[in-house]
Amino acid sequence: MFQFEQARLGHPGQAVFENLTLHIAKGEHVALLGPSGSGKSTLLAALRQQQADRVAWCPQDADLVPMLSVFHNIYMGALDRQHSLINLRNLIWPSRHQKSAIGEIAAQLGLAEKLFTSVDKLSGGQAQRVALGRAIYSQRQVLLADEPVSSVDEHQGLALLKKILGSHPTAVIALHDRSLALQCCSRVIGLRDGVIALDAPCDSLSLADLDALYQ
């Protein structure tokens, strides 16, 4: 699904990874762990470039359109599935079918009563749920996400993460919660100082193994 062979990744004039070799197979749920500045966001950006037309993207800041409602922001996850005139109609006068389909996703995310509330009136945790709903509604096979549940508590984060992973056969997710990584993913890639410091199946790891990434 994704592969890098001795790749140099980073920003203009600054390399974050000098010699990255990495393969991620279809069907894997991968957690990216590591301290701030270790390269997680850089790697996610490079993964997006490799499969731009196949991935659902869920950024840490949600990246929603603030003046539009929960419904409209979730609907925008699938603009490429329909003709522009149909999209325009649904953005102005949502059809019964679209209200039902998106309303069901919103209900599963605890947003049923906020369906036509503008997202600028939501809390940070609610906004992240909208971003997750948009990714689910995109119906794409691959999910890339950067701290998608950082604004909710651990219990809610576990339920939301399991739900979003259940909608995407392949996923790469940057997380700060090491326990969530072990509970929800099949593989951990640990980054530190622009190199892969750890790459192992989750069932072979403990929290102590992951804590070493941050020491």
* CATH number of 187's domain: 3.40.50.300
- 3-state DSSP call for residue 98? helix
Residues 101 and 89 in one domain: yes
Instruction: Tell which residue, 129, 163, 135, has the closest CA to residue 149.
Output: 129
Sign of CA dihedral 44, 48, 51, 54: positive
Residues 50 and 98 in one domain: no
Residues 200 and 178 in one domain: yes
Query: Of 98, 117, 139, which residue sits at a domain end?
Result: 139
Predicted pLDDT of residue 81: 81
Those residues whose C-beta lies under 8 Å from the C-beta of residue 171, and which sit 6 or more positions away, are 28, 29, 30, 142, 143, 144, 145, 164, 165, 185
pLDDT per residue over 113-125, tens digit each? 999 999 999 999 9
- Asked if residue 83 has pLDDT above 90, the reply is no
Predicted pLDDT of residue 194: 87
Residues 157 and 125 in one domain: no
At 78, the pLDDT band (50, 70, 90 cuts) reads: confident
Predicted pLDDT of residue 155: 86
Residues 32 and 79 in one domain: no
Would you say 148 and 164 are in contact if contact means Cβ atoms under 8 Å apart? Answer: yes
DSSP class of residue 172?
A: E
Residues 135 and 146 in one domain: no
pTM for this entry: 0.90
Q: What is the number of domains present in the chain?
A: 2
Would you say 105 and 133 are in contact if contact means Cβ atoms under 8 Å apart? Answer: yes
pLDDT per residue over 147-157, tens digit each? 999 888 888 89
Predicted pLDDT of residue 108: 92
Residues 209 and 107 in one domain: no
- Asked if residue 176 has pLDDT above 80, the reply is yes
